[in-house]
């Protein structure tokens, strides 16, 4: 399952965009994940300073 953004926590810093190997994340005020492009690698989770990204079980 693709990464999930917790919108209330996301500050729009774009750190996740910089580390996403498939360019599946864009930022327009907050991060948005393209579910079709996300490979569930988890790179974005580790990079988020706000802990606003989770990988569903």
pLDDT digits (tens, 9 = 90+) for 5-55: 999 999 999 999 999 999 999 999 999 999 999 999 999 999 999 999 999
Q: What domain range is 46 assigned to?
A: 4-54
pTM for the structure as a whole: 0.91
Give me the pLDDT at residue 29, please.
96
CATH number of the domain encompassing residue 27? 3.30.70.20
Cα separation, 24 vs 43, whole angstroms: 11
Give which of 43, 46, 35, 27 is closest to 2, Cα–Cα.
Answer: 35
How many domains does the chain fold into? 1
What pLDDT was estimated at residue 44?
98
Q: What is the pLDDT of residue 57?
A: 82
Give the other-Cβ count within 10 Å of 23's Cβ.
9
């Amino acid at each position: 399952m693709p990464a999930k953004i917790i919108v209330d926590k996301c500050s729009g810093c774009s750190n996740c965009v910089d580390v996403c190997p498939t360019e599946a994340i864009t930022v327009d005020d907050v991060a948005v994940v393209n579910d079709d492009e996300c490979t569930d690698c988890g790179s974005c989770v580790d990079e988020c300073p706000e802990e606003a990204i989770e990988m569903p079980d």
